């Protein structure tokens, strides 16, 4: 069995100036012997020069290929970008580790954060690209950062069982990756906005049973997607409607046994096929104002029992598991893409189970503006928790 205790994992190289998309890059390939590795074990790695907005980050960076699982437990592999600040850590205790989940939001490797870090603007203005600035802010605080391609090698967008395991195994890989020298006692935080919030929260819900050895210190969630069906309904017929056929590709890959294509008419199947290589920005531009009804062969397809059950299975509001970590939540009340009602409901459930939740709602702004507006508060929360300070609790103020 491969191990990284002495950095026995295989190093790799990348040709200077050549940044192929992950599907065309052998480094990303799942090895035939992936089952020989443990979950979170490093398979291969290579150094990169990480950048945000074409500006080199003040950190050492590596792309790390590690073993994880798909929804039903079959072994696979994905990549996390591990970043360690150049400056020495001068805070109390060991250097913290932040797992930052970008809103990967796509069904192609070009949408993954590892590609954005290495390709820069040449990789396109994907959803991951603008969030690299938040990663840079974390590095400037001296934190090590792991940024996983949590959708896995098939880009299974919205499939919680893939995404949660991808996040947790990415943390395992970062902690065991000897060149990063992350202290085993380092406090661990998770942070994500929108699609990244879904991956972060489901990872925290999976953690007590899937990765009980990971002791999490902080969970920051912005624009929380708590109910996938509610979010689909919000996109339906809106200017963002073209994202729907893109998203269906994630479920087709994660749930082949459901025959999801049978619920679509000929036009719907064509739209899904055209979106099979899209990031969300590509898909939205292709068919704004698209409605689900225009794609259906079976009326009210989302209400059909197999589809409804699948959507609930991938929604934190209905998933089993309660995070064992204090939560910081920020959300625009008028969020048009991630309705705030389901977020309030899942947070109230966690509060009832004894979780400390600090929730902040803003009356102004909407989904996209809240990304930047709420970041400072999330960063301060993470810093407090990494510094060992007690969490704040605003459970009594969350609207019913």
367 burial level (CB within 10 Å; 0-12, 13-18, 19+): buried
- Phi, psi (5° rounding) for residue 313? -60, -25
Give the residue among 189, 187, 186, 99 at the shortest CA–CA distance from 150: 99
pTM of the model: 0.94
CA angle 148, 29, 280 (to 5 degrees): 50
Q: How is domain 10-227+314-397 classified at the CATH fold level?
A: Rossmann fold (3.40.50)
Spell out the per-residue pLDDT of the chain, length 400, in tens: 333 323 334 444 443 456 899 999 999 999 999 999 999 999 999 999 998 888 899 999 999 999 999 999 999 999 999 999 999 999 999 999 999 999 999 999 999 999 999 888 777 778 788 899 999 999 999 999 999 999 999 999 999 999 999 999 999 999 999 999 999 999 999 999 999 999 999 999 999 999 999 999 999 999 999 999 999 999 999 999 999 999 999 999 999 999 999 999 999 999 999 999 999 999 999 999 999 999 999 999 999 999 999 999 999 999 999 999 999 999 999 999 999 999 999 999 999 999 999 999 999 999 999 999 999 999 999 999 999 999 999 999 999 8
Give the residue among 381, 383, 327 at the shortest CA–CA distance from 92: 383
Catalytic residue among 238, 282, 335, 359, which? Answer: 335
Domain ranges of the chain: 10-227+314-397, 228-313
- Per-state percent for the chain, helix, strand, coil, to nearest 5: 40, 20, 40
* Radius of gyration of the CA atoms of the chain, in A: 20
- Residue 99 annotated in active site: no
What torsion, rounded to 10 degrees, do the Cα atoms 302, 305, 310, 314 define? 80
Give the residue among 166, 313, 288, 168 at the shortest CA–CA distance from 236: 288
Beta pairing class for 51-52 and 59-69: unpaired
Domain 228-313: give its CATH architecture. Answer: Orthogonal Bundle (1.10)
Catalytic residue among 114, 194, 200, 359, which? Answer: 194
**Residues 332 and 194: beta-carbon distance below 8 Å:** no
- Residue 194 annotated in active site: yes
- Residue 149 annotated in active site: no
Catalytic residue among 70, 176, 331, 367, which? Answer: 367
**Residues 386 and 218: beta-carbon distance below 8 Å:** yes
Quickly count: other Cβ atoms within 10 Å of residue 293's Cβ: 13
């Amino acid at each position: 069995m491969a191990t990284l205790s002495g950095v026995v994992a295989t190093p790799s190289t990348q040709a200077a100036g050549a940044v192929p998309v992950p599907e065309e890059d052998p480094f990303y390939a799942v090895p035939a012997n992936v089952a020989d590795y443990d979950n979170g074990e490093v398979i291969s790695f290579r150094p990169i020069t990480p950048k945000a907005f074409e500006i080199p980050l003040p950190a050492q960076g590596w792309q790390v290929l590690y073993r994880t699982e798909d929804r039903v437990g079959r072994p696979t592999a994905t990549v996390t970008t591990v970043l360690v600040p150049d400056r020495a850590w001068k805070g109390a205790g060991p250097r913290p580790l932040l797992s930052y989940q970008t809103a990967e939001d796509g069904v192609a490797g070009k949408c993954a954060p590892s590609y954005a870090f290495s390709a820069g603007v040449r990789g396109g203005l994907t959803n991951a690209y603008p969030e690299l600035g938040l990663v840079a802010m974390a590095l400037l605080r001296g934190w090590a950062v792991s940024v996983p391609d949590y959708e896995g090698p098939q880009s299974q967008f919205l499939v919680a069982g893939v995404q949660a395991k991808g996040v947790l195994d990415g943390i395992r890989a970062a902690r065991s990756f000897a060149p990063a020298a992350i202290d085993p006692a380092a406090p661990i935080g998770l942070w994500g906005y929108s699609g990244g919030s879904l991956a972060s929260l489901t990872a925290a819900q999976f953690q007590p049973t899937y990765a009980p050895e990971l002791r999490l210190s902080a969970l920051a969630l912005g624009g929380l997607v708590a109910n996938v069906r509610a979010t689909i309904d919000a996109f339906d017929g809106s200017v963002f409607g073209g994202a729907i056929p893109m998203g269906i590709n994630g479920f087709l890959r994660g749930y082949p046994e459901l025959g999801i294509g049978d619920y679509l008419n000929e036009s719907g199947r064509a739209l899904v096929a055209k979106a099979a290589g899209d990031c969300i920005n590509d898909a939205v531009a292709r068919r704004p104002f698209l409605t689900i009804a225009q794609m259906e062969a079976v009326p009210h397809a989302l209400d059909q029992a197999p589809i409804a059950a699948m959507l609930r299975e991938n929604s934190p509001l209905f998933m089993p598991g309660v995070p064992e970590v204090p939560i910081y939540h920020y959300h625009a009340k008028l969020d048009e893409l991630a309705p705030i009602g389901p977020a309030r409901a899942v947070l109230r459930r966690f509060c009832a189970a004894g979780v400390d939740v600090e929730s902040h709602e803003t009356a102004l702004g909407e989904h996209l503006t809240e990304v930047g507006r709420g970041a400072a508060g999330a960063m301060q929360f993470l810093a407090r928790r990494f510094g060992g300070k007690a969490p704040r609790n605003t459970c009594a103020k969350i609207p019913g």
